[in-house]
Structure 1
Amino acid sequence: MSKGVVAYLPSHDGQPGAEIAWAADCREAFNRGVKLAQSWLDNACGGWLWAVMIAERDLLPRAIDRRAFEVGFLGRVHQRLCSHQGSGPSAADVVLGAPQPGRSLAGTACRC
């Protein structure tokens, strides 16, 4: 499978951003997930996190768009969670979806 389209999760809350390569252009769905998560995080009474994510995600027709939405949404939530723990990588961006010499994909993610 060719992975030629990159979506970018900007750094936020003092946490690094991430580039994620996709086989199809699903940047709009990814960005929609990031925006919805940010909206939920900004509004303390935004309802159940999981319900908000699922309701919006299920409106997307393609499976790859639903996955991109989830990754964007959970990526932004992850940044917020890591920022409150005071740990995480330095300001260097994390690159996902690209092979890293000597590291598995799990080793490229922010660890909190």
Structure 2
Amino acid sequence: MSKGVVTLLPPHDGHPGMEITWAADCRQAFNQGVNFAQTWLDNTRSGWLWAAMIAERDHLPRAIERRAFEVGFLSRIHQRLCSPRQGGEPVKAVALRL
């Protein structure tokens, strides 16, 4: 396992991105979360957001990967909710260490 692996959430919907440093390489799980949230946002939302997240997250084997998926998923949803296009407040870019 590597230490201090950086994952990037790109800007989206007019909202800035962010940088997250993980104790292990969680980039794939994080990106899966981001992509799954984007798919949910782009398609007709026929199911509950929380149920979709939990069902997909539970396919990951390790707790840190499940956490990375959740962070990626909720970060993309946050970007949409806080988007200036959606009437949200602009937020400055941040860097997190998890």
TM-score, length basis structure 1: 0.79
Report what 1:39 is aligned to: 39
List alignment gaps of at least 5 residues for structure 2.
Answer: none
Matched residues, percent identical?
A: 69
List alignment gaps of at least 5 residues for structure 1.
Answer: 99-112
Report what 2:89 is aligned to: 87
CA distance in 2, matches of 1:41, 1:8: 20
Deviations 1:47-100 (A, max 9, x none): 11001000000010100000000000000000000012331225xx321128xx
Whether contact under 8 Å (1:8, 1:20) holds in the other structure is: yes
Between the two proteins, the alignment pairs up a number of residues equal to 95
Report what 2:54 is aligned to: 54
Equivalent positions of 1:1-112 (< 5 A) are 3-83=3-83, 84-90=86-92, 93-97=93-97
Q: Secondary structure at the match of 1:24?
A: coil
Whether contact under 8 Å (2:37, 2:73) holds in the other structure is: yes
| Runs of 4 or more above 2 Å deviation | none
CA distance in 1, matches of 2:39, 2:46: 8
AA at the equivalent of 1:95: A
Q: Which one has the largest radius of gyration?
A: 1
**How far has the Cα of 1:45 moved from its partner?**
2.4
Higher relative contact order (CA 8 A, sep 6+): 2
Deviations 1:8-46 (A, max 9, x none): 111000001010100000100000000000000001324
Change (3 A) 1:15 1:89: same
TM-score, length basis structure 2: 0.89
Provide the alpha-carbon RMSD of the alignment. 1.7
